[in-house]
Structure 1
Amino acid sequence: MMNQPKLALGIVWVLVLIAGCGRGPQSTTRVSTPADAAGPPMVKADGAADPCTIALTPHEGTSRADEAIIRLQQASRQSQQPMAYLERLGWAFVAKARSSFDPGFYTLAEQCALCMASKQPDSAEALLLHGHVLNQLHRFREGETLARQLVAQRGLSYDYGLLGDALMEQGKIDDAVAAYDHMLQQKPSPQGYIRAAHVRWLTGDLPGAIQLMRMATNGFRDPEASAWSHVRLTLYELQAGQVQQATNRIAATIDAWPDYAPALAVHGRLLLAEGEPHNAIAPLKRAVALNPLPESQWLLIEALHAVDRTDEAKAVEQTLMQRGVADDRRTLALYLATTGRDPGLAVQLAQAEFKVREDVLTLDALAWALRAAGKYQEARAVNARAMKAGTRDARLFYHAGVIAAAVGEHEEASHWFARATAERQMLLPSERAQLIKAAAAIL
């Protein structure tokens, strides 16, 4: 196991704002763009659409978030010095993207950043906004470039946070740790504690992850960020076998935010873990309706199959297959490899995702896809890389066991199967069944 990364002081061991985890990318709400407006958009001299025009294209909506966007657009148009309004507008678009699960708002936030840069090329505020959007859109290498520029230019807490996010998603764990060390030395914060919790989980320290995530849940002012931290903590508690705490936490989160798709999805997952697929269907259907991500669709398919509602499961699977490539290549690759539907496509999707992200979970997806395609030695090599961080995850253990068994390493396979079995509540029902069969086959 790789040594635990260490950070200064005993403040926290920091890492990663889980860029996009459970939040996007597919939209559920249509965003108006200049193409929807009357008349053509203003263009720059080089023929490209003007980012200021795009950002200030009149927005519609009646929610508080929509009204804030409309006010900030009006103020930006009317002000002789619009930079501050444009910055606030950009972050308002980010908030709208997070709450609506519509990535189109990230695109509009990016246009705000580009508009700001056109007015003030050295704007650190524009760099921070733009870098955040790039990370959310999984353009991590571009995000790293901007973050390094920002750190060199200004070097504030959130600048280092931005850099750490981009580095972590590319699998550059030690460099990300260094960036987050700078972040937390300057300003301990809930955002830092979330990163700390994730790195503890990533490197196998589940108790540490729980402790730090509990610190994070007490500090957020933003309701959506608070809800997300409770959702993540619910999963940690479930993994630790703290089922009643997890159940109470997710129930309270849903009570506070009834239509928060990540909370509904985790509620369904918890019910599946408890052997209650009938009860899991309703929250999972609602989660999929609000934000049809492949991960939630897969959970719903599992619940429907478990109660013999096969036709409904097939309908959800059809949607997953149609939209999964655009929505979440990594999860679709895992689904295809797990179900044996199309191993070749699974490999293609995982390889495409690996070009963008080289983190532990993407390595695992690639190894699993290669195994499904019968490329056992390649799968073995990639899996070895995935396991180096020491991540404590039942799915990773199960995959490692199957791959080890495929190359004749039965003793090693037995070790990984035992570890997966110890945390089998984190596996889907079909994975638990496959784990039992795989473990029995090497006895």
Structure 2
Amino acid sequence: MTIRATKNRALIAVLAWVLVALPLVGGAADTSLAFLEARARQDPLDFTAHNRLSALYIKYLRETGDLAYLQRAEQAARASLAAVPAPPNVGGLAALAVSEFENHHFSEALVLAEQAYRTDPRQLGALATIGDAHLELGHYPDAERSYTQLAVQQGADAPPVLARQARLAELHGDTAQAVALLKRAGNDVWFKVRLGELSFHSGDWLQAGQFYQAALKQQPDSFVAVEHLAELAAAQGHYDEAIALYQKVLKQTPRAEFFQALGDVYAFMGKADLAKPWHAKALAAYLQSVAAGNAHYLHHLAGFYSDSQENPAEAVRWAQQDLAIRQSIYAYDTLAWALYKHGDFVQARDMMAKALALKTRDAHLFYHAGLIYSRVGELAQGRQFLQQTVAINPSYNAFHAHR
């Protein structure tokens, strides 16, 4: 291959990454999808079409919540690599890395993304995935280094960079910095929802509602905005509104976690008979996903069996599987809470200590820690954690969805 051809291929790869990062809505999105699907059918060896198709499926996944797009994204990425294997097809590696990440196969995603980035350091999507995978695996210093490098190459004010730095700030307990970074990131619907989520978790329901409504005004069909509004309505005690909003979400995006959330609303209202069928639907969908080889819902299953349909042994089993694929502070928290429900208080305390390692200001973490430390006899420490829970979110005991 000539030097000029190599440069052209590199330029095409960079342009393709930029293009798929641009928002596609309405007819433009439909037209692009139809064109790429037709192109891939007509020429199965067109690896560029497969790569762009995989990226577009991921975009649809995030916008619609339809997990069927995740399977299609993975299939397109594998078809790309079958047509032209790596290393020439570095875009195929990067596309498969994103699909594996979204499937919660974080170690596999990291290996693929690192291979893509080593082959072509201009693969910014691969660099972002490296950082994201490190974050989920609990490799926080490595994630920070990856995001710093991403800022150098993409620009410190690029929205994807600011969003990732905001998440790091949040994990390290600097919520104010996280809010500031997200506000700098721009007016994307997802940023508004994240700002609302941070407000909700601090007990500022008025501001949370304003952010969610702003997101919904910008994108009326945003299932993410609607389901967060449903959670807020339930926390405020507006149960009929919450139920209507969750039913709206389920008509658009019938995902397992939303079945559980609706069941949880009924349970919170004391209507166990109405909660039962929704919880049954959630459990069936969770187990079906796991049986298909997906790791997406291991965390949800652990939480489901800890709180919605208590079965401590099952909660521990699924939490251990979740921890096997990601060693994040939230995976440790999930296992700690399951162990607490199972009566293994000392082990729960040991796992909880790991969950608190970053000093994250999260009322969920502190509430769990308060009960766990109190149960092992460390009463002063437990009392301090419970006081911090209320300080962070005075409305913590209100309804909240399992995420």
1:184 matches 2:151: yes
Rounded Cα–Cα distance in structure 2 between residues aligned with 1:211 and 1:368: 31
Count matched residues: 364
Is 1:255 matched with 2:217?
yes
User: Would you say the 8 A contact 1:169–1:359 is kept in 2?
Assistant: yes
2:173 matched residue in structure 1: 204
Partner in structure 1 of residue 226 of structure 2: 264
Q: Does the 8 A contact of 2:203 with 2:395 survive in 1?
A: no
CA gap of 1:115–1:283, structure 2 versus 1, over 3 A, is same
**Higher mean Cα deviation, 381-390 or 101-110?**
101-110
Q: Secondary structure at the match of 1:92?
A: helix
CA distance in 1, matches of 2:45, 2:141: 41
For residues 14-163 of structure 1, what are the structure 2 equivalents within 5 Å? 65-78=29-42, 82-121=46-85, 122=87, 123-156=89-122, 157-163=124-130
- Residues 185-242 of structure 1, C-alpha deviation per residue, up to 9 Å, x if partnerless? 1113111111111111111111011111112233xxxxxxx22222111011223444
Q: 1:367 to 1:352 in 2, by over 3 A?
A: same
Report Cα offsets for 1:125-179 as digits up to 9, x if no partner. Answer: 1111111111011111111111111221112333321111111111111111111
Q: Separation in 1 of the partners of 2:79 and 2:257? A: 35
Aligned-pair distance for 1:88?
1.9
| Offset, 1:342 | 0.4
2:132 alignment partner AA: D
Q: Pick from 298, 307, 311 the counterpart of residue 329 of structure 1.
A: 298
Aligned to 1:243: 205
Alignment check: 8 A CA contact 1:294 1:331 kept: no
- Deviation readout 1:397-438 (Å, 9 max, x if unpaired): 11001110110111011011111122346645368xxxxxxx
Q: Does residue 1:386 correspond to 2:355, yes or no?
A: yes
2-side partners of 1:340 and 1:102: how far apart? Answer: 25
**Contact conserved, 2:74 with 2:96, CA < 8 A, in 1?**
yes
How much has 1:251 moved relative to structure 2? 1.3
Q: 1:289 to 1:391 in 2, by over 3 A?
A: farther
Amino acid at match of 2:84: Q
Please list, as runs of the form range in 1=range in 2, the aligned pairs for 1:209-248 lying within 5 A after superposition.
209-218=178-187, 226-248=188-210
- Rounded Cα–Cα distance in structure 2 between residues aligned with 1:131 and 1:384: 31
Instruction: Give 2:19's aligned residue.
Output: none
Per the alignment, residue 242 of structure 2 pairs with 280
Q: Is the 8 A contact 2:203 2:393 kept in 1?
A: no
Corresponding residue to 1:429 among 382, 398, 403: 398
Distance verdict in 2 for CA 1:159–1:80, change over 3 Å: closer
Residue 316 of structure 2: aligned partner: 347
Q: Aligned equivalents of 1:366 and 1:374: distance in 2? A: 12
Alignment correspondent of 1:172: 139
The one-character-per-residue Cα deviations of 1:268-319 (angstroms, maximum 9, x if unpaired) are 2222333333332211222234334454344323432344544322221222
1:406 aligns to what? Answer: 375
The offset of 1:71, in angstroms, is 1.4
Farther off after superposition, 379-388 or 95-104: 95-104
Q: Would the alpha carbon gap of residues 85 and 371 (structure 1) be closer, same or farther in structure 2, given more than 3 Å must change?
A: same
Q: Which amino acid aligns with 2:138?
A: G
Specify whether residues 89 and 323 from structure 1 end up closer, same or farther in structure 2 by C-alpha distance, changes over 3 A only.
closer
Alignment RMSD: 2.5
Deviations along 1:371-417, whole A, 9 cap, x unmatched?
Answer: 11111111111111110011111111110011101101110110111
Contact 1:366 1:379 in 2 (8 A): yes
1:423–1:282 Cα change, 3 Å: farther
Normalised TM-score (structure 1)? 0.76
Please identify which structure carries the higher helix content.
2
**Aligned residues of 1:277 and 1:306 also touching (Cα < 8 A):** no
Instruction: Give the alignment's TM-score, normalised by structure 2.
Output: 0.83
Match of 2:252 among 290, 294, 299: 290
Greater RCO, 1 or 2 (C-alpha within 8 Å, sep 6+): 1
Amino acid across the alignment from 2:71: T
Alpha-carbon distance in structure 1 between the residues aligned to 2:343 and 2:205: 37
Q: Secondary structure at the match of 1:138?
A: coil
2:286 and 2:177 map into 1 onto residues whose CA distance is 34
* Counterpart AA for 1:186: Q
C-alpha change, 1:302 and 1:80, in structure 2 (3 Å) is closer
CA distance in 1, matches of 2:118, 2:333: 34
Cα distance in 2 for partners of 1:76, 1:282 equals 41
Looking at structure 2, the residues matched to 293 and 373 of structure 1 have their Cα atoms a distance apart, in angstroms, of 28
Cα contact 1:268–1:299 (8 A) shared by 2: no
Q: Are residues 292 and 356 of structure 1, via their aligned partners in 2, closer, same or farther at CA, if it must alter by over 3 Å?
A: farther
Query: Residue 210 of structure 1 contacts residue 237 of structure 1 at CA under 8 Å; is this kept in 2?
Result: no
Q: Which range moves more in the overlay, 135-144 or 302-311?
A: 302-311
Q: Deviations over 1:46-89 (max 9, x none)?
A: xxxxxxxxxxxxxxxx9764443221122344469723322222
CA gap of 1:421–1:301, structure 2 versus 1, over 3 A, is farther
Q: For the Cα contact (< 8 Å) 1:94–1:106, is it kept in 2?
A: yes
